[in-house]
Amino acid sequence: MSKEIPLIPRITTLSNAFRFVKNPLPVLNGFVEEKGEIFEMYMGGFTKAIFTTDPEIVQHVMQKNNRNYRKSEIQTKMIAQFAGKGLLTSDGSYWLRQRRLIQPGFHRAKLAALSDVMLKVVQESWKDLDKLVVSNQPFDLSLEMTKMAFQVVAKSLFTTSVSDEELITLSDNIQEIQEYIVKRLRQPYLIPWFYLSGKSKRQFKISQESRAIILRIIQERRASGQSHDDLLDMLLSARYEDNGEGMTDTQLLDESLILFVAGHETSANALAWAFYLLCKNPEATKKIREEYQEVVGNRKVEFSDFPKLKYTTQVIQETMRIYPPAWITDRLANESEDIKDYHIPKDRMFAIYIYGLHHSKKYWNEPEKFKPERFEKENMKGKPSFAYMPFGGGPRLCIGNNFAMMEMQMVILELLKRYDFELEKNQIIEAMPYVTLQPKYGIKMKIKKR
Ligand code: HEM
């Protein structure tokens, strides 16, 4: 006899629809509180989805029996129609072949070459940040971090091959497309209006505009025959094991665009939340600065320093526990099966509620408190591995996880070295789950030179 998965009645979902559109987190957290680690809910009133915060079930779906699970059409069709068919938006044998091809390019040793690129991006941001120091006006740190993270991905991919104007166009377009996708997901009843009003057509237009910029860069790079030690070089030189050939221009274009989409807003949000938490916890800021002095001192930070910056790493880990940029992900069952006595029908969607896992009282002592030390090795002993999964898990683990960790360390360290951050008083900080978990009204700060 299989156990029944508790169901949130349709009427409860409907009566919460308004609150859900405003902010799904409190509604979902309330359901977790009431029903526990697994429950079913109607999505958009019709399709049932299983929400889970049970690390054992999550591990089964994402890792142990991952072959029985695929991504939903939200990722493989809806995001893909604007961002193209890349690692994040593909599935099955195509995805596996691409992953095998691209994975070596993200190994730690390969990333060493990018640490200088990242350092340069941070140093270039000083121009704008110094102006903010002089103006002494509050500014939205999440916007600054979005600019920074976009530059990091763009320069890591294309080093010098892209102009400032093209970067602004790419950044604006990707931002607008992401906002449009979220609106379509949250308010599907507006889709006919999007078509009638021309909003939908505009997304295709700006998507084409971005693709044209990237294609130009790829074709020029191919023709130049020059080497730049960036991610584009890595993508261009990668060869499939089976036929020894490289990717076509369209594949290169899709994979590059996906790296922008997957790799900039996630890091930007993690960084904005990190600085917010550091402002609220000045003793942690002090410890990071002391660690930096001890490990790096007055010389330039190097790739080999990062593994030694243990406390800084723990602050980043704790930030992504409290505010996981990827707050949810999904999978659909290819075939029916039983997990922990629950019957999972074929094609049923799993909503893996990462935010819920990271805030579960069962796995985290005082989950709402900022305690980077909880990531010390001995404190993590015995914890289920999928209780913490900011980068996902199993074979589809974020390919950019080491890249992102290095980027976040670099930005936090280099900015704390130069500036003091001060949180504006009397502002509302609310975590809002769009595609990534963002501060709904931004995070207003002032900065001073140290
Ligand atoms: C703090 C920063 C980041 C977070 C929290 C994050 C989170 C994630 C998560 C949770 C997944 C798995 C989604 C799933 O399995 O459904 C993922 C996949 C992915 N991420 Fe990241 N990511 C970050 C930064 C980056 C960066 C910097 C890049 C690239 C430069 C990147 C590229 C990708 C790609 C290509 C995938 C798809 C991998 C695949 O399915 O094979 N991410 N990311």
pLDDT of residue 204: 86
CB atoms within 10 A of CB 446: 18
pLDDT in tens, 161-186: 788 898 889 889 988 887 887 777 77
| Tokens standing for residue 33 | 């509180």
pLDDT at 440 over 90: yes
Measured in whole angstroms, the distance separating CA 146 from the mean position of its chain's CA atoms is: 12
Place of tokens 């015995």: 382
SS in 3 state form for 399-439? Answer: CCHHHHHHHHHHHHHHHHHHEEEEECCCCCCCEEECCCEEE
Q: Is the CB of 439 under 6 A from ligand 1?
A: no
Distance 266 CA to ligand 1 centre (A): 8
Measured in whole angstroms, the distance separating CA 132 from the mean position of its chain's CA atoms is: 27
pLDDT in tens, 278-320: 999 999 999 999 999 999 999 999 999 999 999 999 999 999 9
Place of tokens 């030189």: 237
Q: Which ligand 1 atom sits nearest the alpha carbon of residue 397? A: 12
CA–CA separation, 321 vs 368, rounded Å?
A: 10
pLDDT in tens, 250-261: 999 999 999 988
* Whole-Å CA distances, 369 to 54, 365, 366: 21, 9, 6
pTM: 0.95
Distance 264 CA to ligand 1 centre (A): 10
Q: Whose CA is nearest to atom 20 of ligand 1?
A: 398
Cβ neighbors of 101 (< 8 A, separation 6 or more) are 238, 239, 240, 241, 247
pLDDT at 110 over 90: no
Amino acid at 1: M
Tell whether domain 10-449 is in CATH 3.40.50.10490. Answer: no
Domain ranges in the chain? 10-449
Mean pLDDT of the chain: 93
Q: Whose CA is nearest to atom 6 of ligand 1?
A: 391
Alpha helix (H) residue ranges in 23-163: 24-35, 55-59, 73, 80-83, 92-102, 108-135, 141-158
Q: Is the CB of 393 under 6 A from ligand 1?
A: no
Question: Among 175-184, 215-224, 322-331, whose mean pLDDT is lowest?
Answer: 175-184
Element (H, E) at 267: helix 249-280
Distance 262 CA to ligand 1 centre (A): 6
> Which of 266, 271, 322, 407 to mutate to test ligand 1, by most ligand atoms within 8 A of the CB atom?
266
Cβ neighbors of 226 (< 8 A, separation 6 or more) are none
Distance 25 CA to ligand 1 centre (A): 21
Report yes or no: 91 and 100 within 8 Å, Cβ to Cβ: no
Q: Is the CB of 329 under 6 A from ligand 1?
A: yes
Distance 110 CA to ligand 1 centre (A): 17
- What are the residues facing 40 on neighbouring strands? 7, 50
CB atoms within 10 A of CB 327: 24
- pLDDT band of residue 442 (cuts 50, 70, 90) is very high
